[in-house]
């Protein structure tokens, strides 16, 4: 498409951002072949070299993109895997930037510097130092490699994750935005904001929607029932079949005033929703 991805989907007025993997889809571990990063789709595995990835970026012409990187680490990764992630990412990023600097099609595109290294603070520091050496090439930063995408981000151990993120953000300049993707709970997102993360994706509500859940969060500290209230309702549960009340008692939002638990339960069970 002559207008790139934004023109193709008729969203020219919106900012487009390209990353290699969908944060809502779980990554398959392994497959660490030399000079490539694997992506799994409906047609199977596709290996991307830096050159092949940049050809895709030039075709899509996003407003913002993350170069090819190796973020295949999580809380259970070995020191060797974490180190390979950091080393391979440096190689991939340098190759991508070489293409970016020469590309006429990407003159207006902004690049995010990936910060990797698993849960190893020394490797994270090396990753920060690498992107800072190339700071003129980056409009922001992309903190990655702390979970395996999909629901794994909803299940991470918060203390070690927050410790790593806090350490990384303290080393990054505050004038550039820090991105971090994953299906984190809203409570964890707030903790990450406190540590210095600026921008997140929407994979959490997407995954909860796929699981037929209704989300309910109260941040009213004066609400004595807040601690006892469930954060989500499984709308396929038979217990709602004859409950003709709204999702949250007393709530005046559109969802609660126009729908009932029983009606929504019916829609899910008849696959009308």
Whether 226 has a pLDDT exceeding 80, the answer reads: no
pLDDT, one tens digit per residue, over 6-54 is 888 888 899 999 999 999 998 887 777 889 999 888 888 899 999 999 9
Confidence of residue 219 (pLDDT cuts 50, 70, 90): low
Sign of CA dihedral 53, 59, 62, 64: positive
CA–CA distance, 96 with 58 (Å, rounded to integer): 11
How much is the pLDDT for 273? 76
Which residue, among 92, 108, 176, has the nearest Cα to 142 in the 3D structure?
176
pLDDT > 60? residue 229: no
Q: Single out the residue of 96, 145, 154 nearest to residue 116, CA to CA.
A: 145
Of the pLDDT bands very low, low, confident and very high (cuts 50, 70, 90), residue 227 is very low
Q: Identify the structural domains of the chain with CATH numbers, from first to last.
A: 4-208 (3.20.20.105), 233-273 (no CATH)
Burial (Cβ within 10 Å: 0-12, 13-18, ≥19) of residue 230: exposed
State residue 35's pLDDT score. Answer: 92
The pTM score is 0.89
Token digits of residue 26: 């779980």
Looking at residue 221, its pLDDT comes to 52
Say what the pLDDT of residue 216 is. Answer: 84
Which pLDDT belongs to residue 2?
65
Averaged pLDDT score across all residues of the chain: 91
- 76-130 pLDDT, tens digit per residue, is 999 999 999 999 999 999 999 999 999 999 999 999 999 999 999 999 999 999 9
Taking CB atoms within 8 Å and a gap of at least 24, the contacts of 129-133 are 130/90, 130/93, 131/93, 132/172, 132/173
Which residues, including other chains, have CB under 8 Å from residue 41's CB and lie 6 or more apart? Answer: none
- Angle (CA) 120 124 127, round 5°: 145
Report the sign of the C-alpha dihedral through residues 218, 220, 221, 222, in that order.
negative
Residues contacting residue 215 through CB under 8 Å, at least 6 positions apart: 205, 208, 231, 232
Strand partners, 37: 48
């Amino acid at each position: 498409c002559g207008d790139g991805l934004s023109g193709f989907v008729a969203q020219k007025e919106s900012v487009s951002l390209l990353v290699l993997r969908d944060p809502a889809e779980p990554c398959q571990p392994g497959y660490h072949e030399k000079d490539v990063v694997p992506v799994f789709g409906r047609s199977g595995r596709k290996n991307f070299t830096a050159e092949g990835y940049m050809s895709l970026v030039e075709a899509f012409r996003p407003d913002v993109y993350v170069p090819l990187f190796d973020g295949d680490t999580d809380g259970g990764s070995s020191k060797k895997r974490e180190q390979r992630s950091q080393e391979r990412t440096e190689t991939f990023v340098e190759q991508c930037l070489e293409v970016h600097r020469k590309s006429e099609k990407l003159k207006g595109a902004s690049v995010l510097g990936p910060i990797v290294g698993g849960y190893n603070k020394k490797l994270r520091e090396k990753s920060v130092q690498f992107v800072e050496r190339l700071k003129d090439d980056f409009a922001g930063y992309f903190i990655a490699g702390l979970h395996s995408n999909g629901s794994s981000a909803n299940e991470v151990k918060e203390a070690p994750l927050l410790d790593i993120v806090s350490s990384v953000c303290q080393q990054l300049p505050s004038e550039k935005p820090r991105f971090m993707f994953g299906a984190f709970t809203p409570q964890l997102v707030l903790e990450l904001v406190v540590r210095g993360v600026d921008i997140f994706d929407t994979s959490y509500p997407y995954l909860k929607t796929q699981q037929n859940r209704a989300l309910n969060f109260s941040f009213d500290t004066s609400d004595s029932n807040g601690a006892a209230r469930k954060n989500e309702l499984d709308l396929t549960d038979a217990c709602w079949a004859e409950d003709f009340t709204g999702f949250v008692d007393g709530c005046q939002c559109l969802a609660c005033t126009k729908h009932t638990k029983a009606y929504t339960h019916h829609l899910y069970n008849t696959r009308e929703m």
